[in-house]
Amino acid sequence: MKVIVVAGARPNFMKVAPILRSLRERGHTPVFVHTGQHYDEAMSAVFLRELEIDTPDYHLGVGSGSHAAQTARIMESFDPVLEAVRPDWNVVVGDVNSTLAVALVVSKRRHELGTRLAHVEAGLRSGDWAMPEEVNRVVTDRLSDLLLTPSRDVVDNLRAEGLWSDRCQFVGNVMIDSLLTSLPRARAAAPAFARHPARPYVLATLHRPSNVDDPERLAGILQAFERLSHDLDVILPIHPRTRARLTTFGLDALLDRLTVMAPLSYLEMVAATDAASVVVTDSGGLQEETTVLGVPCVTLRAQTERPVTVTEGTNRLVPWPPTSEGVVASVREALARGRRGVGEAAPEGWDGAASQRIVRALEEAMP
């Protein structure tokens, strides 16, 4: 099979790496397309290197912009690639704008070019239409020929939309393939703060528009971090979007007691998560990674599209809307719960072998 595999933004790279590898191992021809949605060294290139992903076969270089501009640029520049490659399959992962843009192009040319679309991480739903990711997920699933699901509990979501059929297949969580492969290397090369922490630490990440685009909400969350910093270290690798908002809102002084750093590389982030006493985040991926590592996680969201991390894993949602008191109380509860062993709280199929199941599903769905 010839298979286009698409990545564009930071959380995509750890999902495509094992898929590219498994395709090659099974004698297929992967064609790696990087849309360029993320482009900074720290948001993209370092991930490709650490995950040992070859240089992209096609780099679309679309960069930042409004949702409309970014999506349109990806569509325009991906279309000729699709026409030139004419793959059997196009594999898109997750819920970023690159996922949706490629799904739209493939579905418009599917019949003419005899090509098909598979969505890895299908079926997740937050129910929150204010999240751009929710629009991306729903539309991508609707357009997909093969919906590859990460956990059993998404059946109800797909059923509710009339999408549950033999096109849906449970394959497990492919991001965990990368996590488990990389954990020994990450531990061996852990940054100093994770290897020899002076005090137990909170690892915090923050980038969702719902948290960082509202000055009051952002200030409340940072005040909680400031309060926690009296008896814990608070490590905050900072997303470019959050960095820009802090400066615009004049909130930089709230960072004084925190250990603020540039975005971490993949291996640094795995090591930092593994050694943290608790993680506080609005990321989707970290909710899953903490669950597998057994590290308590507090999620700064009203709801999660990954409820299995709460019911089976180590995740909890902060009381909504987040206040400084609410965040502090949730972190204290999570700390009291303590750590579990690696893999102890892992849901079914979060086992390091999802990419093999994905490739098998693609093979079996060939005409």
- 134 interacts with ligand UD1 by CB under 6 A: no
Residue of 34, 38, 119, 207 with catalytic role? 207
- 315 interacts with ligand UD1 by CB under 6 A: no
Nearer to ligand UD1 by Cβ, of 9 and 175: the residue is: 9
Residues contacting ligand UD1: total by CB under 6 A: 18
**Sole window of 14-22, 79-87, 234-242, 343-351 interacting with ligand UD1 (rule: CB under 6 A):** 234-242
Q: Bin 63: left if φ > 0, else alpha if -120 < ψ < 50, else beta.
A: left
**Sole window of 37-45, 113-121, 165-173, 321-329 interacting with ligand UD1 (rule: CB under 6 A):** 37-45
Kindly tell me which residue out of 37, 140, 157, 178 binds ligand UD1, with binding defined by CB under 6 A: 37
- 137 interacts with ligand UD1 by CB under 6 A: no
> How many angstroms separate the CA atoms of 294 and 12, rounded?
22
Across-strand partners of 146?
Answer: 118
Kindly tell me which residue out of 39, 109, 261, 329 binds ligand UD1, with binding defined by CB under 6 A: 39
Kindly tell me which residue out of 59, 79, 113, 132 binds ligand UD1, with binding defined by CB under 6 A: 132
The residue type of 102 is V
Chain centre to alpha carbon of residue 2: 25
Across-strand partners of 261?
Answer: 237
Contact criterion met (CB below 8 Å) for 92 and 119:
yes
Active site residue 38: no
> How many angstroms separate the CA atoms of 333 and 314, rounded?
12
Nearer to ligand UD1 by Cβ, of 13 and 193: the residue is: 13
> How many angstroms separate the CA atoms of 32 and 40, rounded?
19
- 240 interacts with ligand UD1 by CB under 6 A: yes
Nearer to ligand UD1 by Cβ, of 11 and 326: the residue is: 11
For residue 336, what are the CA distances in angstroms to 207, 232, 276, 299?
A: 26, 14, 14, 16
Does an H or E element contain 210, and which?
helix 209-212
| Closest to 224 in 3D by CA, of 291, 308, 318 | 318
Nearer to ligand UD1 by Cβ, of 63 and 250: the residue is: 63
Nearer to ligand UD1 by Cβ, of 188 and 262: the residue is: 262
- 10 interacts with ligand UD1 by CB under 6 A: yes
Sheet holding 58-59, edge to edge: 58-59, 29-34, 2-7, 89-93, 116-120, 146-149, 168-170
**Smallest gap, in angstroms, from Cβ of residue 266 to ligand UD1?**
13
- 97 interacts with ligand UD1 by CB under 6 A: yes
Contact criterion met (CB below 8 Å) for 116 and 106:
yes
Provide the annotated active-site residues.
207
Q: Rule CB under 6 A: which residues touch ligand UD1?
A: 9-11, 37-40, 43, 64, 95-97, 132-133, 207, 239-241
